[in-house]
């Protein structure tokens, strides 16, 4: 069976919690013996994982970079749910979906997944074209959220948005030019929030499939926010309203 690589304390720790049997082996920096590493190794051993002492050169080669914090794991891929319907059919209560149109930077995607996990998002959708897929860098930045939040790449994003609306899910898009703000709309029901890439924003066809466009009020000289920051503001406003 094919394996993939996870690296960094957070990403590997989440896999240890959620699916320890999927871990083939964990390589750790043999020269690092601080409290964090000792606690991590103890947790890995308790979970039954094979722990291998490795040097920095080998860790860099396994991770493909040097940002692994001295922890690199070989894991077997977890079974994925392949469709929006598959995910949303299991949702109890109003679904909350994040749609990312044109996010190609793995650091931005990882941060968006981390925010989505914290907000209780049921699925993150993105187009197969003009988007980054899940990779080790995304998993590292996501701090484990890439393992917990379904990330579904669809062939036709406009059709996927239409399918969401067929499920009575309101599609609200973020636009710098919208007069109404995210704080002016009801976010308590069946909801999909659509974010475009930083700078270019949503594509025109994506905008046309939104039921409503909203903005984040900006008081300073900066005209826009990083997509993960914008996602955090909008998602947690939805969380606030849903708990209210």
Whole-structure pTM value: 0.73
Query: What average pLDDT does the segment 141-155 reach?
Result: 84
Do 124 and 218 reside in the same domain of the chain?
A: yes
Do 63 and 106 reside in the same domain of the chain?
A: no
Identify the domain containing residue 10 by its residue range. Answer: 4-75
| Distance separating alpha carbons of residues 73 and 9, to the nearest angstrom | 10
pLDDT attached to residue 67: 86
Contact 45, 112 (CB under 8 A): no
What is the percentage of the chain residues whose pLDDT exceeds 70?
A: 98
> CA 150 from chain center: how many Å?
8
Please provide the DSSP assignment of 34-49 as one string: SHHHHHHHHHHHHTT-
pLDDT in tens, 199-230: 778 999 999 999 999 999 998 877 778 999 99
pLDDT in tens, 1-59: 577 898 999 889 988 988 899 999 999 999 998 999 999 999 999 999 999 999 999 99
Do 203 and 126 reside in the same domain of the chain?
A: yes
């Amino acid at each position: 069976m094919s394996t993939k690589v996870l690296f960094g304390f957070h990403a590997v720790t989440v896999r240890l919690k959620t699916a320890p049997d999927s871990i083939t082996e964990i390589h750790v920096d043999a020269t690092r013996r601080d409290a964090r590493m000792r606690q991590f190794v103890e947790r890995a051993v308790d979970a039954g994982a094979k722990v291998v002492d490795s040097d920095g050169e080998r860790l860099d080669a396994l991770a493909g970079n040097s940002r692994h914090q001295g922890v690199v794991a070989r894991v077997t891929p977890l079974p994925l749910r392949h469709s929006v319907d598959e995910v949303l059919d299991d949702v109890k209560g109003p679904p909350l979906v994040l749609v990312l149109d044109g996010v190609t930077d793995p650091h931005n995607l990882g941060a968006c997944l981390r925010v989505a996990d914290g907000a209780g998002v049921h699925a993150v959708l993105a187009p197969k074209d003009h988007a980054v897929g899940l990779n080790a860098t995304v998993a590292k930045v996501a701090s484990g959220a890439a393992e917990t939040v379904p990330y579904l790449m669809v062939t036709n994003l406009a059709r996927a948005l239409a399918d969401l609306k067929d499920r009575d899910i309101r599609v609200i898009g973020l636009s710098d030019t919208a007069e109404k703000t995210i704080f002016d709309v009801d976010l308590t029901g069946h909801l999909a929030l659509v974010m475009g890439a930083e700078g270019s924003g949503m594509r025109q066809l994506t905008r046309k499939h939104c039921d409503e466009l909203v903005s984040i009020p900006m008081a300073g000289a900066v005209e826009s926010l990083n997509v993960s920051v914008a996602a955090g503001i909008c998602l947690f406003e939805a969380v606030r309203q849903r708990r209210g």
